[in-house]
Amino acid sequence: MKSGRPAARQAAQPSDPELAAVAASLKAAGGVTFGGAGFGAGALKVKGKIFAMRSSKGAFVVKLPRARVDELVAAGLGTRFDPGKGKLMKEWFVPGGGSPAALKKLAREALDYVGAGR
């Protein structure tokens, strides 16, 4: 018999050390969740929307405004995300390396962007 209350769930944590470090750096922001079912199971989310993830090919990917992605790509700091269908995503960026601090900064930008509801 159902009580009408959702079952308590323990918060999922990324098993990927890099993604876990990013998640930990954003813990104070509040509202950041990880995981779920299906697409986005390995992603960081805010308000149920993905803002950072590890792609199926292992790339760290963040969602940023198109103009910011254009700027980062033009500066040679990474590429637009290609989900494997030959179509580059305009608001998704794959950093071309960078320090853990740089990845955390990009993830924070992505959280602010997606969390604001665009």
Parse the chain into domains and list their residue ranges. Answer: 17-115
Residue 118's alpha-carbon distances to 51, 68, 111, in angstroms, are: 12, 14, 11
Residue by residue, DSSP assigns 22-84 as HHHHTGGGSSEEE--SSTTTTEEEETTEEEEEE-TTS-EEEE--HHHHHHHHHTTSEEEE--S
Question: Can you give the pLDDT at residue 67?
Answer: 98
pLDDT tens column, 25-34: 888 878 888 8
Instruction: Assess whether pLDDT exceeds 60 at residue 61.
Output: yes
pLDDT at 13: 58
Q: What is the pLDDT of residue 12?
A: 52
Q: Which residue has the higher pLDDT, 46 or 28?
A: 46
62-98 confidence digits (pLDDT tens) = 999 999 999 999 999 999 999 888 899 999 999 998 7
Residue 95 has a CB neighbour count (10 Å cut-off) of: 18
Chain-centroid distance, C-alpha 118: 15
CATH number belonging to the domain at 17-115, selected among 3.90.320, 3.40.50, 3.30.70, 3.30.1460: 3.30.1460
Predicted confidence (pLDDT) at residue 7 exceeds the cutoff of 80: no
Structure tokens at 38: 């299906």
